[in-house]
Structure 1
Amino acid sequence: MPESRAHPTGRTLRLAVALVRSASFAPRPDPIVFLTGEPGADALGNIAELTAAGMNRDRDLVVLSQRGTFSSQRPLTCPEIDRFYADRVHLPYDAPATGDRYAQAAARCHERLTAQGVDPAAYDTSENAADVADLRKVLGIREWNVLSHSYGTQLALTYMRMFPEGVRSVTVDGVVPPSVATPGWTWSSMREAFDDIVGACAAQPSCRKRYPDIGATFLRMVRELEARPVTTHVTVPQAGRVKVVLDGGALLNWTVRASHAPADFPLAVDELAHGHPEHIAAQWASAWLPGSQGMFAHGLSLSVWCSEWVPFETPAEQLAKGQRAFPELPRSVLAQAPQLPFLRQACQAWGVPKAPDSVRAVTRSSIPTLAISGSFDAQTGAQWGRFVARTLSRSTVVTLAGVAHGTFDHPCGAKVITSFFDDPDSPDTRCVTSVKPVPFITAGEGAGAS
């Protein structure tokens, strides 16, 4: 691929592609192409999950390592930012000094990559979509189906708007609408998931009895920790004994980690309220230490966010979205968007130009589309599946109760998605009503701090 289609005679990139053969001896003629998320994750790392979920049951599966990601040429990996994230667990999450360190790490990565001749402005969703369109032609595929997750849904919605030819159907799993995605956009998903988790506890008699005010307790602890951060030490696999600082922003963002394993959410919050932060601290630290450091393309994340998200929202608009979502919380917490703290400062260091307004166009299409979400998704709330479906005339909307970010590896989610690809206008959704939140653990039932 050309690094920049605005300069077709310039540098080129080689993108890694895996073709996973169908498990069937007589596969269907229309394969599935998988587009992963973050942005910055390497889709080749999802192959085991995809095959375990049966996505190649009766179709070949095409997996593209997007431009800038680890397996493709010139990955925009940033060990400088990896080191910052490893250090951040020791620092107050919301502190301006922490934001300064993030911006400095981004600046060092940008300087190193540009010295190697990389053009960070060439790594965006429009170029990504053109890569996908070219890939179908290179492989000689007349028609295929798109399976997308998280940022991959932003890419898929852009792709089906720009290059609808040859697209038989599209699944968007954990939806990021290009027309509204900004840093402040993340607040509504955090609130939706929080309310659904608290509501699920209230719906279970044992949880309701043991933790009748768990939502209010959590919000109180966010306020208290923001005023007086707690420092503790925990043992994290492969990292050993580490220092962890919990302030209000760290606790709020811990909800993302907790949404994927929610059974001990009430217990962990109750322990924190009674002076025992170790449970949450261990989970918070394990989310960043040591992870797959060196493999994640932070540069692609910044190139997309800094050109397509940040310029389309003012700091005041971002703050207002936080205040609407969590009016109970202090301004210092609300000033940093969930999952994206101090992104504006990092973007100043990253220095890519604002994307054209066309990247925010609403996708209007008659291509059959499945918008599937989890009700506990604190990253891309279920409301956004319903949102994009409004302009997709042949859409099916599914929400799985108690499931977090990503449904394709959930048994019911996988069944709905594969049945959708078999029959895009009438997928089998019967299993959806049987999906319920897991039972919450109450004190004395043996939850571990891991």
Structure 2
Amino acid sequence: MRIAAALLPLALIAGCAEKKLERDSYAPVLEASEPVVSVPSAFTAEHYTLTVPADRTDPSGGSVTLPVIIIKAQEPSELPPIVRISGGPGTEGLSAAAYPGAYPWTKNRDFIIFAQRGTAYASPALRCPGLREAFGEVEGSGEPLEVIMACAERLRSEGVDTSDYHTAAVADDLEDLRIAFGHNRWSLYGLSYGTRVALTYAREHGEALDALVLDSPLPHQAKYDDTSAENFRLALASVAEDCAAEPACAEAYPDLGQRFFAAIAAAEDAPFSFATETEITELTATDLVSLVNLSSAQWISYAPAIMDAIARRDGEAILPLVHSGLGSDYAWGQRLSVWCSEALPYSERARGKPDAPFAGLESAAVRPELCEAFGVAQRPAAEVAATVSDVPTLIVAGAYDPSTPPSFGQIALETLSRGEMLTIAKGGHTETNNWSGDGCAMKAAHAFLDDPAGYLDGSAVPACTTERAPPPFVIAGDD
């Protein structure tokens, strides 16, 4: 089904900043609750719900309820707590509480994990049933436009105003949480989209911050929708260049970059066809490049082998790698509410096609016509302004991360006067959560949060950040 652009137009004129309710005019409600995620018995956890206004400009606009988990410090101290802000937008976030031992600061600090408004464990949860399957083109699932329009209509019928679900609101939820718990200060640890929330909080409530860790930053100034396809191409080119610099990789996969990109260019004109015993599979250029997963250290180590199989048109090697890559925990309504109101409208992508698409990929997290179908209004320009801050900040970036590349970190640093960036060699997205690697990014984050000033002046930098040997690429056929 196609939808006329005039049916539900995407707003392109920024609104004026709205006047929020004064905080003394409402009281966030913090209540003990039953657990929604199981925490290992070796740790003490407290479970709460926080209820706040859905719309802080309208006292009659209803409320949202957010589950909160506190992993209590194993050795209590006076150090301020650390808050984890998950990515997405739309991931549930609370599952991190099931693995508290992965976060070294739980030894002497309280660790706060909360579900952002609109996500799976929050109420209301902005789910769009069937959209994941529609994006994956599962037979009988319907067209994404149809599913999104039905989702938007259902949410409206349930009394949900999707314009209440945006980054500034999440940052205000955090501030209400801080006040409700009675903390004077704390530190924020943001992952991917969570870094945008953290930067918004720093801009609006920076006086309450001790430090920021931004893993895989998405600053307001970065235009994801205008650059994502080119960033992916650059990441793949970097893999090929680094393979050529390693003798074993260069011998196994000679001229990898030239052969791989030639194969992708050929597939843009005509899909590759691979026959199996039961069917013939056609893979477009977009299908093929999507097989090169750069999200984790393990996948990155296999990237040259996958690129080589694509370059050789080796169907036997390629076909087992075909997968949808779609996550299962997204609250798609939250994702659409955020992206369609504050990211896409401020991109050039909203005004036309990208200048340089790569392998058929369009530089967009959400296509404009899907945002039009969802029908959420644009947020004011003030909410997407760069964060100017002197809060001590550590930025972690993976060298091969195509989603939030190191260039995004450099953009963020331009307005952070006490910031420093750590680029992880051969690293992917959210390297502090790379549990299969050497833990260098998490060690750095821990050292920084223990002593932000010392880290920034060089006295607390962990050895792995300077002595780290990047993981080797895997050669096909090696044991």
Unaligned runs of 5+ in 1: 92-97, 235-240
Residue 273 of structure 1 corresponds to which residue in structure 2? Answer: 311
- Post-superposition offset of 1:279: 4.3
1:43 equivalent to 2:71? Answer no
Residue 239 of structure 2 corresponds to which residue in structure 1? Answer: 197
Query: What aligned pairs does 1:253-402 form with structure 2 within 5 A after superposition?
Result: 253-257=290-294, 260=297, 261-285=299-323, 287-288=325-326, 292=328, 295-315=329-349, 319-320=353-354, 322=356, 333-334=360-361, 336-337=362-363, 340=365, 343-402=367-426
- Post-superposition offset of 1:74: 1.0
Deviations 1:168-219 (A, max 9, x none): 1111100101123341132343234223222221221011122122122222
Query: What aligned pairs does 1:73-84 form with structure 2 within 5 A after superposition?
Result: 73-84=123-134
Distance verdict in 2 for CA 1:408–1:74, change over 3 Å:
same
Given that 2:191 and 2:216 are in contact with CA atoms closer than 8 Å, whether structure 1 keeps it comes out as yes
Q: Cα RMSD over matched residues? A: 2.7
The amino acid that maps onto 1:301 is R
Query: What aligned pairs does 1:136-285 form with structure 2 within 5 A after superposition?
Result: 136-230=178-272, 245-257=282-294, 260=297, 261-285=299-323
Residue 13 of structure 1 corresponds to which residue in structure 2? Answer: 64
SS in 2 for 1:153: helix
Q: Which of 63, 66, 70 is the aligned partner of 2:113?
A: 63
The amino acid that maps onto 1:313 is S
Residue 238 of structure 1 corresponds to which residue in structure 2? Answer: none
SS in 1 for 2:130: helix
The amino acid that maps onto 2:363 is A
1:32 equivalent to 2:85? Answer no
Given that 1:402 and 1:436 are in contact with CA atoms closer than 8 Å, whether structure 2 keeps it comes out as no
Distance verdict in 2 for CA 1:158–1:282, change over 3 Å:
farther
Give TM-score scaled by structure 1 length: 0.85
Flag the structure with larger Rg. Answer: 2
CA distance in 1, matches of 2:469, 2:127: 38
SS in 1 for 2:173: helix
CA distance in 1, matches of 2:126, 2:430: 24
Q: How many residues align?
A: 418
Unaligned runs of 5+ in 2: 1-51, 456-460
CA distance in 1, matches of 2:412, 2:215: 12
CA distance in 2, matches of 1:46, 1:139: 20
Query: What aligned pairs does 1:69-148 form with structure 2 within 5 A after superposition?
Result: 69-87=119-137, 101-148=143-190
Residue 95 of structure 1 corresponds to which residue in structure 2? Answer: none
Give TM-score scaled by structure 2 length: 0.81
The amino acid that maps onto 1:131 is D
- Post-superposition offset of 1:321: 5.2
Mean Cα deviation higher: 5-14 or 60-69: 5-14
CA distance in 1, matches of 2:182, 2:85: 19
CA distance in 2, matches of 1:36, 1:83: 23
The amino acid that maps onto 2:409 is G
SS in 2 for 1:352: coil
Q: Which of 415, 434, 444 is the aligned partner of 2:443?
A: 415
SS in 2 for 1:162: helix
SS in 2 for 1:47: helix
SS in 1 for 2:53: coil
The amino acid that maps onto 1:273 is A
CA distance in 2, matches of 1:142, 1:45: 27
Query: Going by fraction, where is helix more abundant, 1 or 2?
Result: 1
CA distance in 2, matches of 1:321, 1:358: 27
1:404 equivalent to 2:428? Answer yes
Deviations 1:308-349 (A, max 9, x none): 1111123487744535xx5xx5xxx15x126x3x61111010
SS in 1 for 2:207: coil
Paired-residue identity, %: 30
Distance verdict in 2 for CA 1:188–1:162, change over 3 Å:
farther
Given that 2:344 and 2:350 are in contact with CA atoms closer than 8 Å, whether structure 1 keeps it comes out as no
